[in-house]
Each structure stands twice: as structure tokens, then as C-alpha cells.
Structure 1
Amino acid sequence: MTSNKSILLVAWFFYPKLGGAEMIVLNQARYLRDSGYDVSVLTSTVKGLEADDSFDGIKIFRRDFINSSVSYPADEIVANLEKIFARTEIKIVHFHNGSYPAASTDMYAGAENIKTIYEFARLHNCKVVEHSHNAQLKDPVATKQLRELDWDCVICVSNFVKQKWIEFGNQAKDLRVVYNGIDLSKFNHVQADPSVDKLRLTIDGKLIFFPARVVSMTQGAISKQKNFILLLAACKKLLELGITNFRLIAILNESEKEQKTRKANRVLGDLLCVYDLGDHITFIPTVMPDDMPKMYAAVDIICVPSLYETFGLVYIETMASGKVAIASNTGGPTEYIKNGKNGFIVDPNSPDDLSEILYEVLTDEKLNEKIRRNGLATAKKFSVETMMTKIEAIYKKLLEEK
């Protein structure tokens, strides 16, 4: 093992907490491991898991100062980092969303912790890479100070994100786009989830899947960004037009332990009274990432009409599963979804627009076949291997610099 192949990935969350960005980190870590790199992950703590852990041959360092709403003393963070760096000669520190402090109650505090990690890496002559998955500017003070750090390279997951960095006044030496990639093998010839597949026996039509959480666990409210309300309104319009050959499937965390969750579920109940879909909607428990391909295999349409998506991993997964993807016309998805060719793009503020697209998909099987075929071809361009070939080229360039 050569010392110049030691990489530290810094991520807000890691396995077993996996969202879109976290899946990218996991796939990246696995690829680097298989390619002979000494790879480790610095991430936030998880109740019940060891501080120094490993998963799938990947070293994991779980620390409280990651994704924290508290500004930790710099010397405490440094002491932790010195122990980590003593184990291997790290050459590159690769931050995922390092420019976006995720601490929900005090983003400025989270930014200070990340800045300390950055400064420690610089002091130890590491190259520093920022991998920007988010583009929203929720806290100008906290995000500005992190964006303006002297990153050796900023990787943007889409041209949409890159343009936002430019608009924000980014001064990075190297600002480039590397699209996200998925493990295509996980979506080929997958056995459908039997519990969902049984729903087909109860309807003469198609299953529409909303794979995002309806209720935000952090906000304790209906998730606005994923725009579930628009989908409810569009489905209601279909029923009003006499189109009944569908069932909407959505994920709902049924835990009543948290007061925020109970409150959000009451709000959801009120919404379902307004948008009364009757037996045309079914809620299922949280689906773990490893089980999501089975869900895709069981349904026909995956619809997430988000208010914005910086990339939209779900749509690539949908295409790789041979299903019909419906996204909104904002952000990253417009860079690879061609409306009516390999998927559909809708106005995130128009229930009429979405209901018209759903009507087409529910009634035109010839169109569906074309969409699925072209979607499969598109998905092949977004593999983990394609993504990591570009990232490895960045590593090589940085390590060759004096």
C-alpha cells in the first residue's frame, strides 16, 4: 500500500444512515477500497455504534463534532484528528457537503467545526476536495465562510450546482462537474417486493411510487422540498376526470415516539381529507436503501416532483430499473432527463401539468415502452465506475502538484 493512496472522506452521515449523498460516499469508499486505496470515513456518531468502527472493510471514525449544532473547541477536534492521522499517512481529505454546514439549529457552529478540520488538513499538507451535493444558500454567513476556503478542487454534482457556486462568488482553483453514479448491477433483474407486488391484484392499472419521506423527521412537518402535496393534488385531478387505473404508494414513518412526528402525521391526515384519494393511496413503512431496488421493480412509475434537486439520484435509479421517471423542471434532473424521451419533466407548481403527464403514462403503453428503453440507455452513463474514473483523475492531478 503506497502512502499517496490514503484518502479520508468526511461526511455528515454514513452507513447505516443513508440518503442520496451518503450512498455516493458509500459507493465511493467501496470503489477506492477495491482499487487499492487506504480509505477511511470521518462521520457523525450513531447511538449504539462504536466511535472507531468498520463496515465492509472501510474504517469509520464517528465523532460528535461532525454534524453538530455546537461549536467544539478547536484543540478537542485537533486531538481527535491527530489520533486518526497517526494511523495512516493521509494525502487527500475529501469533504462531502463540507461547504454546507448541516447542523439544524446553529449552522454557524457546524461551519466552525468543519473549518477546523480543513485547517488541520492543510497544516498536514493534505490536498482538500469539496464535493458539493447541495446548492441552497440557507445561511449566508456560515456557508460563505466555507465556500471561500482555499479548496484545491470543488466537485459539483451538476452544472446547476456549479452555476450556484459561481453566483455565490466562488474562488475555487478548480471548479468542475462530476455527475453522481450508481451501482447499476443492483437494479438489474431484481425480484419485486412481494408485499407491494400483491397490490397489483387489487387494481387494474399502474403503481405510482413516491420514494421520498412524506414527513421530514428533522422538521416534524410535511416535507416541502419533495413536493408530495403536488402529487396528491394531481392524483385527485385524475380521479375527478374519471381516471382510476392507478394506486399511489408513499413512505410514512409510523413511529409515534416523537412529538414532531405525531404533529406531522396529524397535518398529513388533514391533507388526506382535502385530497381524498380513498383506496387509491397506500402508505408503507420506511424502506431501507438496500431494499429500494425491490420497490422499484414492483412499481411502474416513480414520481418525485421536487421544488428543486441538485442532481436527483432517484431518477437515475428509476431509469436503471426500467421504470418511468417523473421529475420537476428545476435543477440537476433537467441535464439528463429529456421530456417525453427518457422520462418526464413537470412544472413543480402545476398540479394540472403533472396530472396531464400521469394521464399519458397511465394510458399510452407504447409511450411507456419508449421511455423505459431510453431510460435504461441513459442510466448506463451514470455508473459508479464512470464517476470514480473522473474523481481518480482529480486525485492524480492533485497529488502530482507540488
Structure 2
Amino acid sequence: MSLSVFSDIRRLLDEQQFDVIHLHEPMVPLLPLVTLGFSKSVNIATFHAFQGTRLNRFWSLFTRGLFNKLDCHIAVSTPAREFVSKYYPAEYEIIPNGVDLDRFSGENSLNKFKDGKVNILFLGRMEKRKGFKYLLSAYLRTKKQFPDIRLIVAGGTQPLKELRPMLKSDTNLDIEWVGQISDSDVPKYYHSADIFCAPNTGNESFGIVLLEAMASGKPIIASKIDGFLEVMENDKEGVFCDPENEEELEGALKKLIKDAKLRASMGKSGRLTAKKYSWDIISDEIEDTYFKAISKKHSKVGK
């Protein structure tokens, strides 16, 4: 990043004289922190993170003065609030992430997956914390009993090296390695799925992928982790499994594969739940915090 960005930010803030500046992860170098440093506006912050490093404690001491410039603190979930409070104690209002209902409301699925097979979707990077290897193991065992199923792997690259031995046993596995997909194609993959799986092992502050699946009307199999527990209820919008538990994943897959009515019922419940997280609702909550913060700051100035 060029050093000129510092003067550019300062000039922009001086010229525009914003009433409110809303920063996401404001204590993260460099752009949010610099903006906060130069800001003379009402400063709102949203915190998303749920994991850090050993440097967090030191960094929080170093940036305490800048943190004190914040007029309102928002966390996207209880886990996010608990994490940030360890380093920056303050009052935090929980306002979750929103979901664009219109984006996921259609039925624009991909024709190549319309062949009668039950499609199981995994959408995420090939990182260990995403838990794909546990889903893969469960799928391979399930495939022996239910041959007319397919696993669609989107958003990641080819399988990790540690997974390749698992894939050599049979060439007819019906696994589609899609790789990276465009943002515009994401709804198409949700709509092509009969079941959405999120076998994450942890370190998720919020279940945005679960909300996207719900908005698409799809039943979910997900790990029972803090961020996901915030948005989904077991046996309502989907099925929870203990993290890293291949047997529970296998059982959940079989349960949903053989019961189309249950899949439809969970998908319907998911759509209703997703409506609570509509951006129309969430944006109103955020706007309310703006007015409260402005009023609070003006009352302090008046004193």
C-alpha cells in the first residue's frame, strides 16, 4: 500500500465531512485503522472475528487509544462479542449479518445436475477448519448404500493431498470438483442442491453460508459449533452433528437422503428463518445504532 493513501484518506474525510463512518474490523491494519485515526465523525464499528494470534493482546494495548474513538460497538454474534471483549472490553450490540433474500429466492438451478440424483453441496475453501475430509469420508460410506447421490464441491481447489488416497478406491464416486465459482453462480449451486453440508470444525463467528442455504430453501447438515448455533435449530432447518464426527455426518446424510418430505419441510422452515435476517430488517437495526450514536455524541458535546 502506497504511503500516499494516508494523505488521500485524510483529504477525503476533510472534504466529505461524513456524519457517520462505519468500519468493519476497525482495529485491523491498515485501512480501517488509519481511517479511524483521522476520523472526526461518529464512528461505528462492527466486529466479525472469532480467532486471533498471540499478538492480539499486545496489539490491543497498542491501539487502545484508537479504540476509544469508537462511539458504538457492534458484534455479529455472541461468539464474536465474546472474542473481541477479551481484548477490547466495552458494551457491544449484537446485530447479525444479513442475507439478500431476493438473490437466493429463485429456482435457477444448473441443468447438468438435474438427473434425479440427490445432490449434496459443499461450498467453501479447502482448509482443514472447513472439515471437508469428514464429509468426504461420510459421503463415501453413504454412497455404498445410496448409489444415486452426488457430492458437489464448489468454492475450493482440488482435494488436499491427504484426501487423495480416499479417492483411489473407486472411479464412480459421483464427485464434482467445481473449483472456484463466481459470485453470480453461487445461488445456482444452492438451487441445484438437495442437501447443503457445512462440516466446519470451528472458528466461525457466524453462519452466513447456513443463511444462504436457508434462503434457498435447502435443508442443512452442519457442525454443532458456536457460530452456527446462532442461526440454526436442530431438526428444524437441518441436522446438527458434532464436529469431526464422520458417523454422525453419515447418519444425517442417510436420514435426509431417504426422506424427501423431511428435506422439503426443513427447507421451508429455513426460508422462514432466513426472513428474520433480511437486509431490510438488519439495515434498520444498523440505522438505529447510527441515530443513537449521533444523539449520544451530540449530548456529550452539549455538556
Distance 1:147 1:159, change over 3 A: farther
| C-alpha distance in 1 between matches for 2:15 and 2:288 | 25
Match of 2:33 among 94, 97, 115: 115
Whether 1:236 aligns to 2:140 is yes
Contact persistence 1:236–1:277 (CA under 8 A): no
TM-score, normalised to structure 2's length? 0.87
* Superposed CA RMSD: 2.3
Deviation at 1:137, TM superposition (A): 1.9
Deviation at 1:156, TM superposition (A): 0.8
Match of 1:303 among 179, 185, 197: 197
Distance 1:277 1:210, change over 3 A: farther
Match of 2:47 among 132, 136, 150: 132
Deviation at 1:268, TM superposition (A): 2.4
AA in 2 matched with 1:115: L
Match of 1:291 among 173, 185, 191: 185
Contact persistence 1:147–1:170 (CA under 8 A): no
Which structure has more relative contact order (CA 8 Å, sep 6+)? It is 2
Partner residue in 2 for 1:250:
153
Q: After the TM superposition, which residues 186-197 of structure 1 pair with which residues of structure 2 at under 5 Å, given as runs?
A: 186-194=103-111
Match of 2:18 among 90, 98, 121: 90
AA in 1 matched with 2:147: T
Partner residue in 1 for 2:301:
none
Contact persistence 2:207–2:227 (CA under 8 A): yes
Contact persistence 2:47–2:84 (CA under 8 A): no
| C-alpha distance in 2 between matches for 1:341 and 1:114 | 39
Deviation at 1:142, TM superposition (A): 5.9
Partner residue in 2 for 1:378:
273
SS in 1 for 2:52: coil
Deviation at 1:321, TM superposition (A): 0.8
| C-alpha distance in 2 between matches for 1:277 and 1:184 | 40
TM-score, normalised to structure 1's length? 0.67
Whether 1:393 aligns to 2:267 is no
Gaps of 5+ in 1: 1-63, 66-71, 102-109, 215-222, 255-264
AA in 2 matched with 1:284: V
| C-alpha distance in 2 between matches for 1:160 and 1:348 | 17
SS in 2 for 1:349: coil
| C-alpha distance in 2 between matches for 1:306 and 1:163 | 20
Contact persistence 1:228–1:305 (CA under 8 A): yes
Match of 1:355 among 250, 253, 278: 250
Per-residue CA distance 1:5-27 (angstroms, 9 max, x = gap): xxxxxxxxxxxxxxxxxxxxxxx
Partner residue in 1 for 2:166:
274
More helix by share: 2
Q: After the TM superposition, which residues 211-222 of structure 1 pair with which residues of structure 2 at under 5 Å, given as runs?
A: 211-214=123-126
Bigger Cα displacement from structure 2, 89-98 vs 77-86? 77-86
Contact persistence 1:95–1:130 (CA under 8 A): yes
| C-alpha distance in 2 between matches for 1:96 and 1:169 | 16
| C-alpha distance in 1 between matches for 2:263 and 2:152 | 19
SS in 2 for 1:93: strand
Deviation at 1:183, TM superposition (A): 1.4
Q: Number of matched residues?
A: 290
| C-alpha distance in 2 between matches for 1:145 and 1:243 | 56
Contact persistence 2:20–2:42 (CA under 8 A): yes
SS in 2 for 1:391: helix
| C-alpha distance in 2 between matches for 1:356 and 1:390 | 39
Partner residue in 1 for 2:261:
366
AA in 2 matched with 1:170: Y
Contact persistence 1:327–1:346 (CA under 8 A): yes
Deviation at 1:141, TM superposition (A): 4.0
Deviation at 1:387, TM superposition (A): 0.8
Distance 1:181 1:147, change over 3 A: farther
Match of 2:114 among 168, 177, 200: 200
Partner residue in 2 for 1:316:
211
| C-alpha distance in 2 between matches for 1:344 and 1:193 | 25
